[in-house]
Amino acid sequence: MTHASASFLPPVAIDPDSGMPMYQQLSDWFRRAILDGHLRPGQRVPSTRHLAGELNISRIPVLSAYDQLLAEGYLETFTGSGTCVARAIPSGAPGGRRLRSASNGESVGAARRIARRAAQLHGPEQTWLDSLGAFRVGMPALDRFPTAIWARLVNRHARQLTVEQMSYADPAGHGPLREAIATYLGASRAVRCDASQVLITTGSQQALQICAHVLLDAGDRVWMEDPGYPGAHQAFRTAGAQMVPVPVDGDGIDVEEGMRRARGARAVYISPSHQFPLGTTMTASRRMQLLSWAERDDAWIIEDDYDSEYRFGGKPVASLQGLDTAGRVIYLGTFSKVMYPSLRVGYMVVPKDLVPAFHAGRDAIDTFSSTLFQLAMTDFIREGHFARHIRTMRALYRERRVALIQAIDRWMGGRLEVIGADAGMQLVGLLPEDVDDIAVSREAAGHGVSVRPLSPCYLGTPSRSGLILGYGGVTPAQIDEGVRRLSLCF
């Protein structure tokens, strides 16, 4: 038996002693591999010279096999690309896989289940994600990121990676980065922790998934801010949790209403410093009320502190975790909003007694995050670049928020009511009661404007339609033009 393994090609097997001509063995093998899906439409196959050399046989049987497969329509040749698997496999090909008829009840049922699952996870078509311009939510000022400094730090470590740094790493993350984050959070957010409680993730979404799978069993009830972050809805839905919508008012999540709806809930998800999407800040009395409930009912508080660095009316509000004396708060943060989204580095702080469980959960979901970027991020923080960048961005976003509010006043004529705290990278504009925010967002996408509708952020019945406008990644000129275009959509 002779084998050949070319790049992206399964091992080719022929038997010189079988009595079957080699060209026929080769053509039969390729047919089976194509029909069984091991070779994909459009996939390039080895040249006849290369395959003959790999199999250590004459080139003649390989040429004969390829000629036969080309004649039968299994292979195609393209100028400059060589020989590839045909993009359309012959309909009458023998032995190929057959898709079950759409009339087959099992197949139709499976298709319907998949469609329902996709609808649950994705909601309405997200046309507001089609543009990177005005007013893409969650997009920082990428044009003002200190790329030269960051590139120097990445290159520094890329040139001197050790064998250990190129190997598998600690699921909890790079130790020095965890220490730097613990120091930063203690100074800026009043988070009480040490490096052993910090876990590095690929962002807040992964941290939510870890929380859902470590803390919850299928059917457990979880209080959710309503309206709230759709990404959290997805994370808890995939874990089989029963989400209980709890309204948000000017003081934050309504704790008393949560207890009326589901007193024995297992956990609550909140964004207390800058609620997403409404922008409210949870008051001190509500914070203490929530902490008391969690301690009394043995529940967990998942605190998402996604953009706390950007508060314009004074210093950032201290974290809820810093007030927790009973070890009930899991604190989540991300560098996506401060640095750039594709960095994919975030973090979570967990109570000491939960560290082993969260380590196991982190390991099970994704093993570990990129070591190279963790090394660079450590230096970015320790050398002071991170603090300087935050100061620069805080001033920039304050200016852009003012520019957005002024543009709304100029072009909207009172048709969009701005709400939310003087913080973050986005604001909410409430629409007139008879206006469909999803329809407006789709119309805006046609004008090259990205606005996120408010109504999909509700688990329950939306009390008001509105638009979420991100201003972090757009200049004042783009803001003004974006609002002008938006004004034409409703």
- Concatenated DSSP letters of 278-323: T-----HHHHHHHHHHHHHTT-EEEEE-TTTT-BSSSSPPPPSGGG
Predicted TM-score (pTM) of this structure: 0.75
Mean pLDDT in residue range 134-146: 93
Better-scored residue on pLDDT, 332 or 115:
332
Where in the chain are all domains bearing CATH 1.10.10.10?
2-85
Name the segment(s) of the chain with CATH classification 3.40.640.10. 161-383
What confidence score (pLDDT) does residue 81 get?
A: 65
Fold for domain 161-383? Aspartate Aminotransferase; domain 2 (3.40.640)
Average pLDDT value for residue range 51-70? 87
- What are the tens digits of pLDDT across the range 205-236? 999 999 999 999 999 999 999 999 999 999 99
Q: CB–CB of 193/349 below 8 Å?
A: yes
* Residues 290-313: tens digit of each pLDDT: 999 999 999 999 999 988 788 777
Task: Write down the architecture of domain 120-141+388-486 according to CATH.
Answer: Alpha-Beta Complex (3.90)
Tell me whether strands 2-4 and 12-14 are parallel, antiparallel or unpaired. antiparallel
Q: What is the pLDDT of residue 249?
A: 94
The closest alpha carbon to 227, from 289, 273, 280, belongs to 280
- pLDDT tier at 111 (50, 70, 90 boundaries)? very low
pLDDT for position 99: 33
Q: Is 347 helix (H, G, I), strand (E, B) or coil?
A: strand
Kindly report, residue by residue over 307-328, the tens digit of the pLDDT. Answer: 878 877 766 678 999 999 999 9
The CATH fold assigned to 2-85 is: Arc Repressor Mutant, subunit A (1.10.10)
Question: Is it the case that residue 417 has pLDDT exceeding 80?
Answer: yes
User: Could you give the residue range(s) of every CATH 3.90.1150.10 domain in the chain?
Assistant: 120-141+388-486
Q: Among residues 346, 335, 350, 341, which one has the least CA distance to residue 300? A: 350
Residues 6+ apart with CB under 8 A from 171: 199, 359, 362, 363, 367, 368
Going by pLDDT thresholds of 50, 70 and 90, the confidence category of residue 125 is low
